[in-house]
């Protein structure tokens, strides 16, 4: 139930009463409905599922997550793989 | 691709797996309840790299797999009608009904079309006023907002020839059913990230506390999955019964409010039969009476046909995480992706199909020799 | 009322229309209309003595007593014209490539056309011109053909069946069963371009892409590779079913195992993007201008170098190797270090929502 793919909004239009965006999935473009994420702006990324934006991706959270995980991985580098859990 | 490639970084994934290895002190059984996550785990071989103390079991997270047989048969009956254009998400086409599938109906002249989005079905209805367009509205909570928008849009456009055949299922009742089972061994849950993007995760703390099972909202890329597992393992090791969010870039506690509002307007909770499991009370959504004119089951008189599943198929037990695909005597022999016996082999996200396609047949063979 | 006397003498039926703008049933009836169609639509394009002789079969002189490589294919692609190619180019290149994959020099093609009533002549002309262009690029002649016309609705505009004949280079036995343990697997370039380009062109899933089909004749590339090394054991072009299906076929035919390196497989970012969106795997998507070569390890470097200097081989890369373990199966080493099995494509590839 979950094939949601990040896509970047490049254009927003009103089509038949729906707020529709042209979304860039990395060179492939498709339209998606923004009615559920009305605050999304051009240049922002959303999770797109079956032609609908269901969530606005937070750059801040994304970077924090990556930082956190890098720290976890760096611990591994510093200690080396032989280190047993304390 | 932004927001995808970074979460496939091999070094980071390995680093997090090492941290899981360092953290774990005993065995834990963790269930993931999303077909997309099953697919990702098996495709990237993540379970191979986890320490052996972690056992991942696959839950009934595939809406295709759990669509009841009777509803498939209704879909086939409707699709066979000459005045109908029957639209469906791709993976439903292969799901076997009692005797046939949508492919067979198509082969006999039924107008069956794969659509990517439910709005494509609405467009078809607008473009073909002399036809009845029926959309097979299946899914978990993630797919509900798109499916209901198609109804709202059809209403807005004044379309009289659009209806949906609903088979929606919800995650929390499924988790409740799994954890209530006397045979349950699941100790931790990876929650479906995109279901939570829509619904939030405020529904889960009560379940978590009731059954003393920690849970982590988890995404779909390899890094997301191992992060979800690490989060769950840490909670388990610390004895903390909590619901944590390991997918914060896409999920908030309250979820998507406009989407939830649309769902409540159009759908209401109802009992739902899950193929291979049975009826779970109030585990599904159906159209409210106000939207009866868009309800395909009311528009088309179709008789239910009850039929038996193959006696060899243990999809039900696999869906509940009680057995693995290679525990099934038919796996890889009578039941393969070319001639599936049950839904978990048919659907590309079903655990059996994932295992078969990504090659867990050997395990079966070596265990039997 | 007219005062003229009606003169019935000399009155004859109106002559039939000559239907030069679209195909009608008469074109397939074997009579004058059919002859005119051949004269006007096919002969000027596929010019060669064998075809111009106008007999029921082509008399050709391949000029050698060696082995022949023969292949046939039917082409039903829709839409007829897509970015990077069309059904005509596809037909010629498809058969040229199949013949070449035995290590043969393709020489002659036949082309059978099933035309749908109502097909604009201009469309047919475009396809035929494209076929000749591809044939010239490949250095082959289209020496025999056939035309039938079917009622409206019975063909998507047109279908083409081709057969091809070539001469196998002497002393070579190249085939799916010839792979050896220790061989490496070379892929000539990025996978999935054709399948995604055509899917985008069909429009049913509503996405746009700038991808072009990779449809191309590979026989010159094959010839260059064979000039470089006699230790090329298998050649195959991964069309429908993709790289995964092709390698599975080879693994089964040779009764050996294949291990692929996920990170080495070139995939265009747009192909990846489309696959992510739809839930597809590039390994299963059709290619029409790529080949896979299973070659002796010690020759791989030289072969790659030769490919890099030849059209359609510029991006060739080693993607895997042949082992004696897990015979008959193809394994993939993922970027994160795990190994999984890559199966053949089972049925139709369908977009998924999970």
pLDDT in tens, C123-164: 999 999 999 999 999 999 999 999 999 999 888 899 999 999
Q: Which two tokens stand for residue B54?
A: 């972690």
Give the pLDDT band of residue C28 (cuts 50, 70, 90): confident
DSSP string, C302-346: HHHHHHHTSTT-TT-EEEEEEESSSTT-EEEE-TTS-EEEEPPP-
Which of the four pLDDT bands, split at 50, 70 and 90, describes residue B368?
A: very low
Mutate: best of C153, C260, C264, C336, partner B, most B CBs <10 A: C336
Does C343 sit within 8 Å of B35, measured CB to CB? no
Domain-located, residue C349: no
How far away is chain B from the Cα of A80, in angstroms, using its nearest Cα? 10
> Is C204 near chain B, with CB under 8 Å?
yes
Give A48-76 pLDDT, tens digit per residue: 999 999 999 999 999 999 999 999 887 65
Q: State whether C224 and C303 are in the same domain.
A: yes
Choose between B94 and B247: higher pLDDT. B247
- Phi and psi at C294, nearest 5°, equal -105, 115
Q: How far is CA B81 from the centre of its chain?
A: 28
Q: Tens digit of pLDDT for each residue in B128-177? A: 999 999 999 999 999 999 999 999 999 999 999 999 999 999 999 999 99
User: Touching check for C16 and chain B: CB below 8 Å?
Assistant: no
Q: Report, as an integer, the average pLDDT of C298-320.
A: 98
Secondary structure tally for chain C: helices H, strands E: 9, 14
- pLDDT of B102 > 60? The answer is yes
Range of the domain at C142: 25-168
Mean pLDDT of chain B: 88
What average pLDDT score do residues B214-225 get?
A: 96
A82 contact B CB<8A: no
| Reported ipTM | 0.87
Cβ neighbours of B120 in A, within 8 Å: 51
Nearest-CA distance A53 → chain B (Å): 9
Are both C287 and C189 inside the same structural domain?
yes
Answer yes or no: do C141 and C235 share one domain.
no
> Contact C210/A31, CB-based, under 8 Å?
no
Q: Are residues C147 and C253 in the same domain?
A: no
Using an 8 Å CB-CB cutoff, list chain A residues near C276.
5, 25-26
Structural domains of chain A ordered from first start: 5-79 (2.30.30.140)
Q: Please say if the pLDDT value at position B359 is more than 70.
A: no
The pLDDT value recorded for residue B69 is 86
CATH of the domain at C47: 3.30.1330.10
| Domain co-membership, C47 together with C188 | no
Per the CB < 8 Å rule, is C277 touching A49?
no
pLDDT of residue B340: 64
Q: Answer yes or no: is C87 within a domain.
A: yes
Closest CA–CA distance from residue A60 to any residue of chain C (Å): 23
Read off the pLDDT band of B35 (50, 70, 90): confident
Whole-number pLDDT of residue B365: 43
DSSP C298: G
pLDDT band of residue C12 (cuts 50, 70, 90) is low
Residues of B within 8 A of C327 (CB-CB) are: none
Tell me the domains of chain B and their CATH numbers: 5-61+171-245 (3.40.50.11750), 64-169+255-299 (3.40.50.11740), 315-368 (no CATH)
- Collapse the DSSP code of C213 into the 3-class scheme (helix H, G, I; strand E, B; otherwise coil) and give the result: coil
Q: Look at B259 and C205; give whichever has higher pLDDT.
A: B259
Q: With 70 as the cut, is the pLDDT of residue C333 above it? A: yes
Any A CB within 8 A of B230 CB: yes
Mean pLDDT of C210-232: 97
Burial of B344 (0-12, 13-18, 19+ CB in 10 A): buried
| pLDDT tens digits, one per residue of C202-214 | 998 999 999 999 9
Residues C62, C185, single domain; the answer is: no
DSSP 8-state symbol, B349: T
Token digits of residue B234: 């840490």
CA–CA min distance C83, chain A (Å): 14
Q: Please check whether residue C347 lies inside any domain of the structure.
A: no
Write down which residue in C136, C168, C200 finishes a domain: C168
Which H helix or E strand runs over B85?
A: strand B84-88
H-assigned helices in chain B: 10-23, 35-44, 46-49, 63-66, 69-79, 102-107, 118-127, 144-156, 171-180, 193-199, 204-211, 222-238, 257-266, 296-299, 315-319, 343-346, 351-357, 361-368
pLDDT (0 to 100) of residue B366? 41
Close Cβ partners of C65 (under 8 Å, ≥ 6 residues apart): none
**Confidence (pLDDT) at C63:** 73
User: Which residue, C148, C168, C188, sits at the end of a domain?
Assistant: C168
Residues C143 and C254 in one domain: no
Q: List, as ranges, residues 243-272 from C with C-beta within 8 Å of B.
A: 269, 272
The answer to whether residues C23 and C125 touch, using CB atoms and an 8 Å cutoff, is: no
Residue contact C273–A28, C-beta within 8 A: yes
Give the per-residue pLDDT at C83: 97
pLDDT at position C55, please? Answer: 75
On whether any CB of chain C is under 8 Å from the CB of B12, the answer is no
End-to-end alpha carbon distance in chain C: 78
**What pLDDT was estimated at residue C7?**
66
Averaged pLDDT, B318-326: 70
Q: CATH code at C225?
A: 3.90.650.10
pLDDT, residue B367, reads: 37
- What is the rounded average pLDDT of the residues C253-274? 96
Q: Are residues C310 and C192 in the same domain?
A: yes
Q: Which residue has the tokens 């792979």?
A: C179
Is residue C352, in this structure, part of any structural domain at all? Answer: no
Nearest to B35 among C337, C351, C354 (CB): C354
On whether residue C131 sits in a domain, the answer given is: yes
pLDDT at A41: 96
For residue B339, name the pLDDT band (cuts at 50, 70, 90): low
Q: Is B60 within 8 Å of B218 (Cβ atoms)?
A: no
Whether the CB-CB separation of C113 and C27 falls below 8 Å is answered with no
| Angstrom distances, CA of residue B295 to CA of B80, B207, B306 | 18, 32, 21
Q: Do C160 and C186 reside in the same domain of the chain?
A: no
Higher pLDDT, A2 or C163: C163
pLDDT greater than 80 at residue B350: no
Q: Please, what's the b/e burial string for C78-106 (b: 16 or more CB within 10 A of its CB; e: otherwise)?
A: eebbbebbbbbbbbbbbbbbbbbbbbbbb
Q: How many CA atoms lie within 13 A of C211 on its CB side?
A: 32
Domain membership flag for residue C48 = yes
C210, C276, C354: residue with CB nearest A1: C354
In a domain, C285, yes or no: yes
Mean pLDDT of C106-133: 96
Q: List all chains that touch chain A, counting a touch as 3 or more CB pairs closer than 8 Å.
A: B, C
Q: Using CA atoms, how far apart are residues C213 and C195, in angstroms rounded to an integer?
A: 7
| Interval A27-47 mean pLDDT | 96
Rounded to 5 degrees, φ, ψ at C25 are: -55, -35
Query: For residue C260, is it within any domain?
Result: yes
Domain boundary among C168, C196, C225: C168
Whether residue C329 is found in the same domain as residue C246 = yes
Question: Per DSSP, which regions of C78-157 are E strands?
Answer: 81-82, 85-86, 104-116, 141-150
- Find, among B264, B189, B210, the residue nearest to B37 by Cα: B189
- Among candidates C209, C270, C277 on the partner chain, residue whose Cβ is nearest the Cβ of A5: C277
C53 plus C84 within the same structural domain = yes
Whole-number Å distance between alpha carbons of C246 and C262: 16
The two structure tokens encoding residue C20 = 């030069």
C336 neighbourhood in chain B, CB within 8 Å? 8, 10, 13-14, 44-46, 49, 222
Confidence of residue B62 (pLDDT cuts 50, 70, 90): confident
Between chains, do A77 and B15 touch, taking CB under 8 Å as contact?
yes
Whether residue B305 is predicted with pLDDT greater than 60 in this model: the reply is no
Q: Are residues C156 and C194 in the same domain?
A: no
- How far apart (Å, rounded) are the C-alpha atoms in residues C126 and A22? 33
Cα(B85)–Cα(B125) distance, integer angstroms:
9
CA distance C50 to C58: 5
Q: Which helix (H) or strand (E) holds A32?
A: strand A29-33
The predicted-structure confidence for C277-305, as pLDDT tens digits, reads as follows 998 999 999 999 999 999 999 999 999 99
Nearest residue in chain C measured CA to CA from B358 = C341
Residue in A closest to C268 by C-alpha: A27
Please tell me the total count of domains within chain C: 2
């Amino acid at each position: 139930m979950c094939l949601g793919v990040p896509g970047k909004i490049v254009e927003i239009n009103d089509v038949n009463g729906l707020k529709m965006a042209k979304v860039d999935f990395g060179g492939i473009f498709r339209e998606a409905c923004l009615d559920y994420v009305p605050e999304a702006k051009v240049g922002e990324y959303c999770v797109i599922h079956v032609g609908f934006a269901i969530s606005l991706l937070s750059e801040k959270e994304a970077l924090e997550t990556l930082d956190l995980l890098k720290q976890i991985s760096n611990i591994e580098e510093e200690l080396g793989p032989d280190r047993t859990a304390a | 691709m932004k927001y995808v490639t970074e979460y496939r970084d091999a070094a980071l994934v390995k680093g997090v797996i090492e941290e899981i290895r360092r953290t774990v002190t005993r065995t834990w059984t963790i269930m993931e309840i999303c077909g997309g996550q099953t697919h990702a785990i098996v495709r990237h071989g993540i379970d191979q790299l986890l320490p052996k103390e972690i056992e991942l079991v696959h839950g009934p997270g595939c809406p295709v797999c759990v669509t009841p047989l009777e509803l498939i048969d209704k879909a086939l009956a409707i699709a066979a009608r000459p005045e109908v254009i029957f639209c469906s998400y791709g993976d439903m086409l292969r799901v076997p009904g009692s005797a046939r599938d949508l492919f067979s109906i198509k082969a006999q002249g039924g107008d069956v079309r794969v659509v990517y989005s439910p709005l494509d079905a609405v467009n078809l209805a607008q473009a073909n006023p002399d036809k009845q367009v029926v959309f097979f509205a299946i899914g978990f909570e993630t797919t509900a907002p798109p499916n209901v928008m198609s109804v709202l849009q059809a209403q807005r456009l004044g379309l009289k020839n659009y209806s949906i055949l609903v088979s929606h299922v919800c995650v929390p009742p499924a988790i409740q059913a799994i954890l209530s089972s006397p045979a349950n061994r699941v100790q931790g849950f990876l929650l479906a990230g995109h279901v939570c993007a829509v619904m939030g995760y405020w529904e889960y703390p009560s379940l978590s506390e009731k059954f003393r099972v920690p849970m982590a909202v988890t995404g779909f890329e390899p890094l997301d999955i191992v992060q979800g597992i690490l989060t769950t393992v840490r909670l388990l090791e610390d004895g903390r019964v909590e619901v944590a969010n390991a997918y914060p870039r896409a999920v908030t506690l309250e979820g998507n409010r406009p989407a939830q509002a649309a769902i409540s307007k159009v759908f209401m909770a109802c009992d739902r039969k899950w193929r291979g499991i049975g009826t779970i009370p109030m585990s599904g959504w159906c159209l409210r009476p106000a939207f009866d004119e868009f309800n395909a089951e009311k528009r088309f008189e179709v008789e239910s046909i009850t039929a038996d599943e193959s006696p060899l198929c243990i999809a039900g037990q696999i869906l509940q995480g009680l057995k693995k695909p290679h525990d099934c005597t038919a796996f890889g022999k009578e039941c393969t992706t070319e001639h599936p016996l049950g839904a978990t082999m048919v659907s590309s996200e079903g655990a059996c199909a994932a295992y078969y396609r990504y090659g867990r047949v050997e395990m079966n063979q070596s265990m039997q020799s | 009322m007219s005062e003229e006397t009606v003169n019935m003498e000399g009155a004859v039926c109106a002559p039939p229309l000559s239907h030069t703008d679209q195909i009608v049933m008469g074109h397939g009836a074997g009579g004058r209309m059919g002859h005119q169609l051949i004269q006007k639509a096919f002969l000027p394009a596929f010019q060669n003595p064998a075809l111009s002789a106008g007999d029921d079969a082509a008399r050709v002189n391949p000029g050698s007593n060696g082995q022949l490589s023969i292949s046939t294919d039917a082409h039903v692609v829709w839409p007829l014209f897509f970015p990077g190619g069309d059904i005509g180019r596809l037909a010629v290149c498809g058969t040229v490539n199949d013949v070449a994959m035995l290590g043969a020099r393709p020489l002659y093609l036949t082309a059978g056309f099933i035309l749908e009533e109502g097909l604009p002549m201009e469309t047919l002309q475009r396809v035929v011109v494209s076929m000749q262009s591809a044939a010239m690029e490949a250095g082959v002649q289209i020496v025999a053909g056939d035309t039938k016309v079917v009622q409206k609705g019975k063909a998507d505009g047109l279908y083409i069946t081709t057969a091809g004949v070539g001469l196998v280079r002497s002393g070579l036995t190249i085939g799916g069963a010839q792979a050896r343990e220790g061989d490496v697997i070379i892929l000539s370039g990025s996978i999935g371009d054709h399948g995604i380009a055509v899917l985008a062109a069909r429009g049913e899933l509503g996405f746009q892409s700038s991808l072009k089909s990779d449809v191309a004749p590979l026989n010159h590339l094959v010839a260059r590779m064979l000039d470089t090394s006699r230790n090329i054991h298998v050649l195959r072009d991964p069309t429908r079913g993709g790289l995964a299906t092709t390698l599975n076929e080879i693994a089964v035919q040779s009764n050996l195992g294949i291990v692929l390196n996920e990170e080495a497989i070139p995939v265009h970012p747009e192909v990846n993007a489309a696959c992510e969106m739809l839930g597809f795997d590039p390994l299963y998507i059709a290619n029409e201008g790529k080949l896979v070569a299973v070659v002796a390890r010690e020759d791989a470097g030289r072969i790659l170098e030769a490919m890099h200097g030849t059209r359609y081989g510029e991006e060739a890369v080693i993607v895997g190797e042949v082992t004696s373990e897990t015979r008959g199966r193809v394994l993939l080493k993922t970027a994160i270090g795990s190994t999984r099995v890559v199966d053949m494509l089972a049925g139709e590839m369908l977009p998924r929502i999970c």
